């Protein structure tokens, strides 16, 4: 497997050599977590590869630092209001707003200095909005 690295100058790039084993793996049912919150604050779990979120009003979503090489897929399954995700450490964005059911974000955790970076954003009507 190629080695994937991130630098501020190049962004995410591929380098020859041995990469992180299991970085890209088939998603198993045990990899999926669901979170539900009816208004207020919600900590997004970093213990699963896929997180299906349900909002019940305007949400302040927080995301703790992950493990280097971690990929996290966030999905707004049920929309009860906007959820604004603010990671503890990130590069290239400050927040992501999940406004509609079907909004998705795929994030990659580089290290404790760079933090989370966005690999992709998709949505049914439009991708989630990011702020810098």
pLDDT at 22: 47
pLDDT digits (tens, 9 = 90+) for 82-92: 999 999 999 99
How many separate domains does the chain show?
1
User: Is residue 8, in this structure, part of any structural domain at all?
Assistant: no
User: What CATH number does residue 54 fall under?
Assistant: 2.60.120
Domain boundaries, position 43: 32-131
Rounded CA-CA distance 103/75 in Å is 6
End-to-end CA distance of the chain: 32
Count of residues in the chain: 132
Q: Is residue 9 part of a domain?
A: no
The mean per-residue pLDDT over the stretch 90-110 comes to: 95
Cα(115)–Cα(20) distance, rounded to whole angstroms?
17
For residue 115, the model assigns a pLDDT of 97
Helices (H), strands (E): how many in the chain?
0, 12
Residues 6+ apart with CB under 8 A from 17: 2, 3
Work out the angle at residue 46's Cα, subtended by the Cα atoms of residues 41 and 47, and round it to the nearest 5 degrees: 125
Tokens of 57: 């009003």
| Domain annotation covers residue 79 | yes
Residue 14: inside a domain: no
Predicted local distance difference test score (pLDDT) of residue 27: 47
62-90 in b/e burial notation, b at 16+ Cβ within 10 A? ebebbeeebbbbbbbeebbebbbbebebb
Beta partners for residue 131, in sequence order: 95
Q: Answer yes or no: is 16 within a domain.
A: no
């Amino acid at each position: 497997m190629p080695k994937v690295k991130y630098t501020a100058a190049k962004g995410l790039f591929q380098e020859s050599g041995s990469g992180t084993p299991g970085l890209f793996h088939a998603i198993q049912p045990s990899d999926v977590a669901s979170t539900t919150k009816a208004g207020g604050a919600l900590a997004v779990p970093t213990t699963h590869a896929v997180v299906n979120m349900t909002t019940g009003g305007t949400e302040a979503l927080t995301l703790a630092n992950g493990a280097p090489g971690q990929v996290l897929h966030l999905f707004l399954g049920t929309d009860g209001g906007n959820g604004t995700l603010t990671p503890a450490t990130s590069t290239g964005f400050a927040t992501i707003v999940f406004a509609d059911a079907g909004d998705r974000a795929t994030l990659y955790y580089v290290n404790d200095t760079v933090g989370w970076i966005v690999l992709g954003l998709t949505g049914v009507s439009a991708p989630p909005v990011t702020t810098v």
